[in-house]
Structure 1
Amino acid sequence: MSVTRRTVLALGMLALVSTPLFAETPKSIGKIERLDPAINKLIPADSVIEVLADGFDWSEGPVWVPQGEYALFSDIPPNRIMKWKEGEGISIFMEPSGYTGKAPFTGKEPGTNGLALNAKGELTACCHGDRNLVKFVDGKRVVLADKYDGKRFNSPNDLVIHSSGDIYFTDPPYGLPKNFDDPGREQDWCGVYRLKKDGTVDLVTSKQTRPNGVGLSPDEKTLYVAQSDPQAATITRYPLNADGSVGEGTVFYDGTSQVGKVKGLPDGMAVDATGNIWATGPGGVLVFTPEGKQIGLLNTGEATANCTFGADGYLYITADMYFCRVKTNVSGIKK
């Protein structure tokens, strides 16, 4: 039986939730759990998990666009990128997004997933249905990579862009119509890759069973990779060498014991300017110090996919059908 990524992450949710796109939203959801006094320096005492919009099938991959002061995020099943802007609310930014084929898509997750901006401010995206990594230039879709060693990717999932221009990204099969068992699958593994600025693709590791979210430390000496495997729900940190190559990884966080007790699995993440890791996982968004101590939890009560820092003092969160934000005292890494 094929298990969709969303079903796996929700752990017990048996169907995609579909509610009106412009439904009236509650003011807030969940709660902020302060597990260590250090979290008080990162999150103001009066912060809440504020809901900005809801009614999405599976919200993912948020990115802040400073040029227009708005956020974009993927709504994967309906093949859309959504836009949220203060004072204007929610709107459709792009449709279709991750699948542009003429034939009907037979799977459940055709859209884009992870989104990022490159040094030129160009939107860069992981496309599930098209099975590639693209950027958008003057309204045109430019394919950056779609194969490794002559074989098509499974369905690129999340990405992070190094200051050198290299892109590190993950490639689980969640966007394939039949997931791990899809007959069109060409890779023998779920890889983590590096797309170098010269256009070549290197395999970082094939040891991750379900690689998902990725992040870089502020000094770009550490690459973080989340794994959304219920049997090994981990975040691994890899040393990054000066030439961009990656060393042997060590487990930074293991949440396997929490799987099934609360919603969610390790998925996306954001790293703040001081090196703290804000990683989605069992319970919501887990906040870690650079040393790996968990000091807080943004307990959304939902299977939570990803997060990103805006330039406006907020952490933006995609949590199942919700698009949320939390006021913080820290900012993302400035590039």
Structure 2
Amino acid sequence: MTGIEIFDPRLHNILKPGSVLQRLGGGAIWGEGPVWLPAEQALVWSDIPNNRMLRWHEGQGVSVFRQPSHFSNGNSLDREGRLVSCEHGRRGISRTESDGEVRLLVDRYQGRRLNSPNDLVVKSDGSLWFSDPAYGIMSDVEGYKADSEQDGCHVYRFDPLANVLERVADDFQKPNGLAFSPDESLLYISDTSASHDPAGCHHVRVFDVEAGRRLVNGRVFAVIEPGLPDGFRVDHQGWLYISSLDSIQVYAPDGTCLGKIHVPEKISNCTFGGLRGERLFISASTSLYAIDLNTRGCQFAAA
């Protein structure tokens, strides 16, 4: 199925006459972690099994951004506009410095190696919040097969200024995508343990953020099907754009599924970008897609 499926009339508010899905390029084995680079007006994303990162620029198409990439997965920008990445290969979080050095920031919790950081989000105070499932150490396809040194798969907060890593959630099976609400009072986190367990989770949970650094009152926000809620983003009004097997599912903060933006490949993640932050870029299996919308990502709210 292609096109846009509308379940709630509110979805019309984000659609333009030209809101049509476009395929921008391909060549990946499993694309993930798209991030918009405003300084370059370009989109970068990970091609995990190929151990590289790809770059798309209007008029230039797709090129290799970095190879090898330490099996990078999720990507974001810190408050200074530097690229921060989850690396399966080094089992940590890296930051690309202004001189091009890819510096490993953190790879251990209480002296033991992390599993394989998967996705991350940057809070306004500069802290990095990330999920740490074991996908990257389960085989040699998306990292290096190894035993876990942790007691499970958890969610962490890293303060790069204080160089302090703390665990903020320990009741997930396979934590994956995560995103803050516009005012950062809520943190949404997906659990995708159904990827390897038919009886596992395929939902997004939401937590209240207490004192800016603690998660409390966790509850299920939405159960996603078909497929898994791998990665997702939030726009300036608090709507969620959640990946699934067949579409980006759009949810209002009240938990209502407003509709679907159908994509012809299994979706991993998405991000907002473009000159005004009104373009939703979607990484889906082998390809990169985009659709222009009448909304903006959280980070573009004041643009």
Q: Structure 2 length normalisation: TM-score? A: 0.91
Question: After the TM superposition, which segments of 4 or more aligned residues of structure 1 sit over 3 Å from their partners?
Answer: none
Q: Confirm or deny: 8 A CA contact 2:245 2:265 kept in the other structure.
A: no
**What is the letter of the counterpart of residue 45 of structure 2?**
F
Structure holding more strand per residue = 2
Displacement after TM superposition at 1:183 (Å): 4.4
Cα-to-partner distance string for 1:172-204 (whole Å, 9 max, x where unaligned): 11111538xx54321120111111241111111
CA distance in 1, matches of 2:3, 2:242: 16
- 1:190 is matched with 153
Alpha carbons of structure 1 residues 183 and 96: separation in structure 2 relative to 1, 3 Å: closer
Cα-to-partner distance string for 1:138-177 (whole Å, 9 max, x where unaligned): 1112111101111101100000000001111000111115
Cα-to-partner distance string for 1:90-141 (whole Å, 9 max, x where unaligned): 10011111x2xxxxxxxxxxx1111111111110000011101010111112
**What is the letter of the counterpart of residue 47 of structure 1?**
S
Q: Structure 1 length normalisation: TM-score? A: 0.83
Mapped pair 1:127 → 2:127? no
Aligned pair partner of 2:182 in 212, 218, 230: 218
CA distance in 2, matches of 1:162, 1:57: 30
Aligned pair partner of 2:168 in 204, 228, 231: 204
Q: What do you get for the CA RMSD once the two structures are aligned? A: 1.7
**What is the letter of the counterpart of residue 90 of structure 2?**
D
**Number of residue pairs the alignment of both structures matches:** 288
Q: Confirm or deny: 8 A CA contact 1:311 1:331 kept in the other structure.
A: no
- 1:52 is matched with 24
Q: Secondary structure at the match of 2:32?
A: strand
- 1:316 is matched with 281
Identity %: 36
CA distance in 1, matches of 2:153, 2:273: 30
CA distance in 2, matches of 1:158, 1:85: 23
Aligned pair partner of 1:240 in 189, 209, 216: 209
CA distance in 1, matches of 2:57, 2:267: 21
Q: Secondary structure at the match of 2:157?
A: strand
Name structure 2 gaps, 5 residues minimum. Answer: 195-199
CA distance in 2, matches of 1:84, 1:282: 23
Q: How does 1:224-263 map to 2 (within 5 A)?
A: 224-230=188-194, 231-255=200-224, 258=225, 262=226
- 1:84 is matched with 56
Aligned pair partner of 2:117 in 149, 156, 172: 156
Displacement after TM superposition at 1:273 (Å): 0.6
Q: Confirm or deny: 8 A CA contact 1:265 1:303 kept in the other structure.
A: no
Name structure 1 gaps, 5 residues minimum. Answer: 1-28, 100-110
Displacement after TM superposition at 1:242 (Å): 2.6
